[in-house]
């Protein structure tokens, strides 16, 4: 579904990565590894269209994304390192606002998504009153609403307890099994014995 050809990125006169090549097929999960500062988040931002300063090509379904950028971006769900929510809105209001921006967030109901991330009873609480972990779960509730074929996730297990991590692992596997694909960064020991998990280390 996705292929990256000779990708290079420089920041502050320092080459983060060069001649990076990889592909991602249906059902695959790709984990980006590397030390802090190796360019993991920069790579994800390039793949999401949020950063345009790079060399190389990105192909989506065999076409250069620059030739079908709107279609490509509509196929992506990006969840960054930060929750990506408005603190003045409630959990439910945040998800409704996100649905207006992203029509592919139409799988199931908001109340079910919040229940699955452990926020039942917190639907009407302003997000500034929630803990860091709860705010993170509001943002991750998008995963339960997503029909996007490609998920790009930057440290999706941050601020989650052990149960939350296990549930998100299962959700990622389920998405891949149902015909999607996932690119993620994580320091978590992500083991999937029954799933095609591939890894790329930007330090090498």
Q: Look at residue 44 and tell me whether its pLDDT is greater than 60.
A: yes
Query: How much is the pLDDT for 35?
Result: 87
Query: Given this model, what pLDDT does residue 194 score?
Result: 58
The mean pLDDT value of the chain amounts to: 89
What 3-state DSSP class applies to 195? Answer: coil
In this prediction, residue 112 carries a pLDDT of: 94
pLDDT per position as a tens digit, 154-195: 988 887 788 888 888 889 999 999 999 999 998 777 666 556
Contact 5, 60 (CB under 8 A): no
Cβ-Cβ contacts under 8 Å for 107 (sequence gap 6 or more): 144, 145, 146, 147
Element (DSSP H or E) covering residue 191: none
Question: What pLDDT is attached to residue 191?
Answer: 66
Give the homologous superfamily in CATH for domain 1-75+149-204.
P-loop containing nucleotide triphosphate hydrolases (3.40.50.300)
Bridge partners, residue 150, by sequence: 76, 181
pLDDT in tens, 59-116: 999 889 888 888 899 999 999 888 889 999 999 999 999 999 888 898 989 999 999 9
CA-to-CA distance for 80 and 61, rounded, in angstroms? 24
Please report how many Cα atoms fall inside a 13 Å half-sphere around the Cα of residue 36, on the Cβ side: 0
pLDDT at residue 9 tops 80: yes
Domain ranges of the chain: 1-75+149-204, 85-148
């Amino acid at each position: 579904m996705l292929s990256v050809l000779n990708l290079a990125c420089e920041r502050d006169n320092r080459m983060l990565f060069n001649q990076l090549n990889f592909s991602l097929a249906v059902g695959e999960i790709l984990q980006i590894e590397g030390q802090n500062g190796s360019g993991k988040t920069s790579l994800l931002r390039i793949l999401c269209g949020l950063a345009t300063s790079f060399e190389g090509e990105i192909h989506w379904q065999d076409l250069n994304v620059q030739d079908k950028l709107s279609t490509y971006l509509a196929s992506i769900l990006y969840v960054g390192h930060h929750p990506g929510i408005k603190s003045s809105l409630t959990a439910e209001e945040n998800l409704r606002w996100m649905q207006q921006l992203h029509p592919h967030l139409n799988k199931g109901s908001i109340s079910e998504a919040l229940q699955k991330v452990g926020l039942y009873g917190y639907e009407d609480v302003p997000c500034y009153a929630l803990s860091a972990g709860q705010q993170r779960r509001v943002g991750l509730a998008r995963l339960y609403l997503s029909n996007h074929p490609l998920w790009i996730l930057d440290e999706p297990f941050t601020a989650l307890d052990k149960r939350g991590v296990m549930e998100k692992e299962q959700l990622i596997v389920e998405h891949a099994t149902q015909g999607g694909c996932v690119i993620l960064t994580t320091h978590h020991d992500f083991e999937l014995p029954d799933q095609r998990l591939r890894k790329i280390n930007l330090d090498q």
